[in-house]
Amino acid sequence: MSAAHIFHPTVLREYDIRGIVGSTLNPADALAVGRSFGTVVVRKGGKTVCVGYDGRLSSPTLEEALVEGLMSTGLHVLRIGLGPTPMLYFATRDREAAAGIMITGSHNPPDYNGIKMMLGKGPVYGQQIQELGALAAAADWEVGEGSSEQIDVQDEYVARLLKDYDGLRDLTVAWDAGNGASGEILRRMTAKLPGKHILLFDDIDGTFPNHHPDPTVEKNLVDLKKAVAEHGCDLGIGFDGDGDRIGAIDHLGRVVWGDQLVALYAAEVLKSHPGATIIADVKASQALFDEIAKHGGVPLMWKTGHSLLKAKMAETGSPLAGEMSGHIFFADKWYGFDDALYCGIRLVGLVSKGGTTLAALRDGLPDMLNTPETRFQTSEERKFAVVEEVKGRLTAAGANVNDIDGVRVTTPDGWWLLRASNTQDVLVARAEAFSEEGLERLKAALIEQLLASGIEAPSFDGGGTAH
């Protein structure tokens, strides 16, 4: 019997597994995840698992160990190779596999990597991830003679992405793959998509030599803005490292943020799903929830986290959900998972058939003054405790607090949010107000709470941005 395995305490997160390669995450961990997750699948009667990996330098080695662990439980492993996380989700659904696992560090720095999992059609998160640790600690693993085979789903995936394109006029679009795992699929997809397409950094390179692959941070969109201007593009679309988060630029070079994209998609989706529930996370603008209601939908505020939103979508039958971070989920025509390539197709189609511009659609949304998502450095051990301390002080003071995910505090000026990141050792904050003065008051209130818990609180990035 194999020896038990203990994971580093910071690795088993709320909705995936994540760590620093060579420090908190190693091939031995991937092997143990394979054994533990494989055991869960086998005990549920599953026989086949799909596995994919992103473009990080450490990913092939981790994938080898993961597959070995899965096979040791008796499973048959379909190895789809290098590509974006949503291609793994697609393959798992398309091949009717019992489960799917992706080796990916998502949008984290190059020395990070991680594992995202799905069981059946749903995500693996929360207590399910902790149970993998318990199985490993007890060496409570199934043992069998498994097997594996390489399969290629790229052409099928691209064909399915393109199936829902409904544009009526050709557009010029700049796409920034950020040297992430989407590059090859993006080339194949845009080669068959009508219009003119300018591709940036579509070579997959795990060192991310051009910019960090996170399209929700404006400094990472400089090259995309430049391409949009130089080529007279109608819009620009960027992806994160594993292709499940989208960023967008209008033809004027302005960022269209995640909650604004959800608002635009919602207006369209609600035409064919009148009265449907549309879900957004606690970081989203109040303007988004108001827009959903305006178009006849039922707005639902939920916890941040791709697994958590996917699960809530399945529970409520929602056709669309989205996060400020650019994870956007279509169950309208699609499978309910977050796929930035598919979201890109839907955005190009929306603008193309609308006879308008993305800029005009963006300007049709209510203006709010808000801060970007701002991160305050802390430690893995301290981040959740700080949120609890802040919540305790605010509740005692009689503040209007929504604690569904961290603390979202509503005042006559607007609202501010403080929550612990599930993927990094940081606290995440955001504020939104109706006026500059109100925004300053909200920021001051938030900083006061951080200081009371001993967190150094620099000023928010970029001040107030109207959107």
Q: Where are the alpha helices (DSSP H) in 355-465?
A: 358-363, 383-396, 436-452
Chain center to CA of 53: 16
Q: How does pLDDT run across 234-289, given as a tens digit for each residue?
A: 999 999 999 999 999 999 999 999 999 999 999 999 999 999 999 999 999 999 99
Residue 456's pLDDT is 82
* Phi–psi pair at 18, nearest 5 degrees: -150, 135
**DSSP annotation of 319:** S
Mapped onto helix, strand or coil, the DSSP state of residue 242 is coil
Biggest CA–CA distance in the chain, Å, is 66
Cα distance between residue 50 and residue 37, in whole Å: 12
Q: Of 36, 59, 106, 182, which one is the catalytic site residue? A: 106
As a whole number of angstroms, the distance between CA 388 and CA 265 comes to 35
What's the pLDDT score for residue 463?
Answer: 45
pLDDT for 14: 82
- List the beta bridge partners of residue 82: 53
- Environment class of residue 151 by beta-carbon count within 10 Å: exposed (0-12), middle (13-18) or buried (19+)? middle
Contacts (Cβ under 8 Å, ≥6 apart) of 303: 281, 282, 309, 312, 404, 405
Confirm whether 106 is a catalytic residue. Answer: yes
Q: How many residues does the chain have?
A: 467
| DSSP-based three-state secondary structure for 113 | strand
3-state class of 8 per DSSP? Answer: coil
Domains and CATH numbers, the chain: 17-152 (3.40.120.10), 156-363 (3.40.120.10), 369-466 (3.30.310.50)
Which tokens sit at 198?
């300018």
Point out the residues of the chain with pLDDT beneath 70.
Answer: 1, 423, 458-467
- The one-letter amino acid code at 84 reads P
* Nearest CA-CA partner of 359 in 453, 264, 272, 265: 264
Give buried/exposed letters for 207-227 (b at 16+ CB in 10 A, else e).
ebebbbbbbbbbebbebbbeb
Name the pairing type of β-strands 369-370 and 255-256: unpaired
